[in-house]
Amino acid sequence: MASIASSEGDRTLDPAMQVGGAGVDVASSTPLQHRFSPYSWNGGTVLAVAGKDYCVVATDKRLAEGYSILSRKIDRALQLTDKTVIACGGSHNDVEALYNHLKLRAVMYKYNHEEDLSTIGAAQLLSNTLYYKRFFPYYALAVIAGLDDDGVGYVAGYDAVGSYLRSRDGYTANGSAAAIAMPILDNALGKVGVSSGLDEKPEYSIADTIEMLKDIFVTVGERDILCGDAVDIYAITATGTEHEVFELKAD
Amino acid sequence: MLPVEWSGEEWTGLDGAPGIVYDLGCNIYSPDGRVFQIEYAAKAVENSGALIGLKCKDGVIIGAEKLMPSRLLMESSGRRVHPVGMHAGIAFTGYAADGRPVVNAARQEVENYHDYYGVDMPPHTLAERLGHYFHAYTTYGGYRPFGLTTMVTSFDEVTQEPFLHMIDPSGTQFRFHGAAAGKSKQAAKTEIEKLNLKALTCAEALKRISLIIHTIREEEKDKPFVLEAGWITADTDWKFQLVPKNLRDEAFEWGKAEFDKMDDDDDDDED
Amino acid sequence: MATVSQTLACAASGADVSAGRSAADPHKHTTSPIVTGTSVVALKYKDGVMMAADTLGSYGSLSRFTDLRRIVTTGGYTLVGADGDYSDFQYVQDILKELEVEDACVADGITHSPKEIWCCMARILYHRRSKMNPLWNNLVIAGFHEGEAFLGTTDKIGTSYECDFVATGMGLHMAMPILRRHWKPNMSESEARELLESCMRTLFYRDCRTINKITFASATKKGPSVDEPVEVSTEWSYQSFVDPKAGSDTGGSW
């Protein structure tokens, strides 16, 4: 009975059912069961570039699952303070839960300290928050972007359990198409990495940076099926944050 | 340490006055079988506004005289009548702060019962559970009884009939055709007995309650009060509902006018 | 050798990894649905939101119950539709009922808005998935409040989003393409109904866990309401239905 019923769970093929994982336990003849996964892989690509007095972060608006598109207009980025934005790919349920938590912490910080949480502070808070759930992680591949205490662009990337690093070259990519976008960024902006031919770190204007990120998203949208529909772009400067939506192919 | 001494003959207060010890807690009886703390709790009720419940032709209504000790108070604050579920509501008079935990307890009981059995809690069960709750506070040292008399009205799914129960500080609860509590409850009961409850509708009863309250509060008629009420009637689809403000205002004015008329007649008689 | 997801599952439930899934396991969580409902389809239109779901409760491949209502109203403005495990949906209904009672007890005439209920449901489903004890449902929450239509959805792990039209389960694969092609803003009531019917018809043709007894529901300024089940018209004389192998070697498909 259980086997009859369980075969009606998700009507997607679970590779784990074929390759070990679950399957039939021969010794006790336990019927085959679906294994519940608390995670989903909803895509989400995040790119961020820091300049000497600005920071730009861009993330797509497609919510995908398998070969399906669930939504073409979700928000993946969280404007935490006037000069800090966080964006995550990964399992969108965890991303939302993480954002709800961070929003609360940012508000509490402001009540307690009578000033906004700094970008560097937010970066450490995000790390601690992710690491706190080290043994049942938030599946959130985060990028934090903002201005540091000197007003200089700050960009850092994270893994799901809170390991993070401020980018030395001032750019990072995370999420679904990070592996496609990163070499492009390396080539355009990298000084430290081996794929760069640059001797000096180039200084692009904020407008040129935004144009470059748009171009990269157009290219990445052609190669990664989870990436597309539209991009949220946040341009952070000392005077505040400007937001625009850039349309991609909805295919 | 209780502030008492053993004189060799009996317990006395520290000042040597006899007898006083028996009212220091509700965990001991007095020699003549009373628990004084319960009676003191009842005193708290007698000092409070009137509460009148009537089981009428088409439902049950509870009305409360909410005394307003200050003109600065918002009219809607310090509510005396509370819904505790779709089919049930309670009203209390007495030591108002004691009312909150009772309301919460009633809501929990109603919710748990529905969770467990999938049907609305029957009126007698709700009254019984609240009775137990009240009674528990009369048996333990370190607790004091609730300074409340509470009326419960709820609809019985089985008999398709709403009921009226009243619980006093001791935890005893009975079912009533008509009940009164609070200041001048004797006078109120006398007035209720004059009513023909089998023919009265809740809408009419609302006015009657207003009149009764205006009648029995003669000596303090300059102190402002708000008429609060809740009912379960055929018109509310047997759901508990706080009586809308416009109806209460109308009833208030009607009761006041009727009472003034009667008062004038009385004065005429005297002349 | 424990897999990663086993390790995660055991870490979350506090069970011993080496023990794996055994009879001695103190926790028995919902690992699979029992009586299931299939797709829920909903869309926004000019007057509000419209939703449809059939009335079948499947027990594995058995058509076990044929008159289950999978769309309910809650509060003064909202519809909630569910696919997946029916007992879990009944538990969700209990929660919704408690919310209603809480609102009634405050007695200020205010009830939760559709968006609040959607958010609340998403948090409850996420909370349960975090305990590795999920409520096995996709929920669709629709409503009309303060002059605005609302449509949102959440799955059993709490992935939630708002949308103009939505289809769950098999509907995600077979109704969504229809909706994407034909949905437009401000459709009339009859256009919306026709589009939903065409979705339900296609699902009846192709989803094995469907019956042609469908509840339609709507939430407009008049409030939410669920109609009694109806049949949608069907047409079985298409050549590919009559003679699936006709013309080519497609194995009965096209």
Does residue A6 sit at the C interface (CB-CB below 8 Å)? yes
Angle of CA points C193, C195, C200, to nearest 5°: 90
**Other Cβ atoms within 10 Å of B204 Cβ, number:** 17
A–C contact: 3+ Cβ pairs < 8 A: yes
Binary contact (B84, C105; C-beta < 8 A): yes
DSSP string, A145-209: EEE-TTS-EEEEEE-TTS-EEE-SSSEEEEETTHHHHHHHHHHHH-SSSTT---SS-----HHHH
Task: Lowest mean pLDDT of B248-252, C81-85, C148-152, C236-240, name the range.
Answer: C236-240
Q: In this predicted model, which residue has the larger pLDDT, C158 or A15?
A: C158
- pLDDT tens for residues C92-113? 999 999 999 999 999 999 999 9
Which residues in chain B have their CB less than 8 angstroms from residue C94's CB? Answer: 115
Binary contact (A38, C8; C-beta < 8 A): yes
A–B contact: 3+ Cβ pairs < 8 A: no
Does residue A65 sit at the C interface (CB-CB below 8 Å)? yes
Chain B interface, best mutation among C92, C97, C101, by max B CB count within 10 A: C101
Residues of chain B with confidence (pLDDT) below 70 = 1-4, 11, 13-20, 218-219, 266-271
What's the number of CA atoms in the CB half-sphere (13 Å) around residue A199? 0
Q: Along the 251 residues of chain A, how does pLDDT read in single tens digits?
A: 333 333 344 434 343 433 333 344 444 444 445 589 999 999 999 999 999 999 999 999 999 999 999 999 999 999 999 999 999 999 999 999 999 999 999 999 999 999 999 999 999 999 999 999 999 999 999 999 999 999 999 999 999 999 999 999 999 999 999 999 999 999 999 887 767 767 887 889 999 999 999 999 999 999 999 999 999 999 999 999 999 999 999 99
Chain C interface, best mutation among B80, B86, B102, B248, by max C CB count within 10 A: B86
pTM: 0.86
Does residue C120 sit at the A interface (CB-CB below 8 Å)? no
Distance (Å) from the alpha carbon of B118 to chain C's nearest alpha carbon: 9
Binary contact (A33, C32; C-beta < 8 A): yes
DSSP-assigned letter for residue B21: G
- pLDDT tens for residues A111-141? 999 999 999 999 999 999 999 999 999 999 9
Which residues in chain C have their CB less than 8 angstroms from residue A136's CB? Answer: 8, 11-12, 130
In the block, residue with structure tokens 């009226």: B164
Chains that touch C (3 or more CB pairs under 8 A): A, B
Distance (Å) from the alpha carbon of A21 to chain C's nearest alpha carbon: 6
Distance (Å) from the alpha carbon of C223 to chain B's nearest alpha carbon: 19
The per-residue pLDDT for C75 is 95
Query: What is the assigned CATH class of domain B48-270?
Result: alpha beta
Chain B nearest-CA residue for C100: B86
Query: Rounded to whole angstroms, how far apart are CA atoms C126 and A96?
Result: 10
CATH topology of domain A45-248: Glutamine Phosphoribosylpyrophosphate, subunit 1, domain 1 (3.60.20)
Closest by CA to B121, choosing from B98, B146, B152, is B152
Structure tokens at C27: 């926790």
Structure tokens at B130: 């609240």
**Domain locations in chain B?**
1-34, 48-270
Which residues in chain C have their CB less than 8 angstroms from residue A2's CB? Answer: 32
Residue C28 resides in a domain: no
Binary contact (C100, B86; C-beta < 8 A): yes
Query: Rounded to whole angstroms, how far apart are CA atoms C223 and A98?
Result: 35
How many separate domains does chain C show?
1
Chain A interface, best mutation among C131, C137, C161, by max A CB count within 10 A: C161
Give yes or no for a contact between C142 and C170, defined as CB atoms under 8 angstroms apart.
no
Name the residue facing C104 among B83, B114, B115 (closest C-beta): B83
Chains that touch A (3 or more CB pairs under 8 A): C
Mean pLDDT confidence for C117-137? 97
Residue C213 resides in a domain: yes
Distance (Å) from the alpha carbon of A154 to chain C's nearest alpha carbon: 30
Phi then psi for B214, rounded to 5 degrees?
-60, -35
The per-residue pLDDT for C254 is 53
Give how far the C-alpha of residue B151 lies from the chain's centroid of Cα atoms, to the nearest Å: 5
Task: Indicate the burial class of B11 (C-beta count within 10 angstroms; 0-12, 13-18, 19 or more).
Answer: middle
CB pairs under 8 A between B and C: 20
Closest by CA to C43, choosing from C170, C210, C183, is C183
Distance (Å) from the alpha carbon of C107 to chain B's nearest alpha carbon: 7
B–C contact: 3+ Cβ pairs < 8 A: yes
- pLDDT tens for residues C6-65? 433 443 444 443 434 444 455 556 678 999 999 999 999 999 999 999 999 999 999 999
Chains that touch B (3 or more CB pairs under 8 A): C
Query: Rounded to whole angstroms, how far apart are CA atoms A219 and B269?
Result: 101
Q: Where are the beta strands (DSSP E) in chain B?
A: 4-6, 11-13, 51-56, 59-67, 81-85, 88-94, 148-156, 161-167, 173-175, 178-181, 225-233, 240-242
Binary contact (B85, C104; C-beta < 8 A): yes
- pLDDT tens for residues C182-214? 999 999 999 999 999 999 999 999 999 999 999
Query: Rounded to whole angstroms, how far apart are CA atoms C138 and C149?
Result: 20
Q: Is residue C5 scored above 50 in pLDDT?
A: no
**Mean pLDDT estimate for chain C:** 89
Name the residue facing C33 among A8, A70, A91 (closest C-beta): A8
Binary contact (B111, C105; C-beta < 8 A): no
CATH number of the domain within which C195 lies: 3.60.20.10
Which residues in chain B have their CB less than 8 angstroms from residue C100's CB? Answer: 86
Give yes or no for a contact between B47 and B183, defined as CB atoms under 8 angstroms apart.
yes
ipTM: 0.86
Structure tokens at B236: 């509310």
Residue C217 resides in a domain: yes
C-alpha distances in Å from residue A81, one per residue of A24, A94, A127, A217, B40: 52, 21, 17, 25, 58
Closest by CA to A92, choosing from C30, C186, C162, C149, is C162
Query: Rounded to whole angstroms, how far apart are CA atoms B146 and B217?
Result: 24
Query: Rounded to whole angstroms, how far apart are CA atoms C202 and C198?
Result: 6
The per-residue pLDDT for C242 is 79
Q: Which residues of C are catalytic?
A: 30
The per-residue pLDDT for A63 is 98
Residue C13 resides in a domain: no
Residue C40 resides in a domain: yes
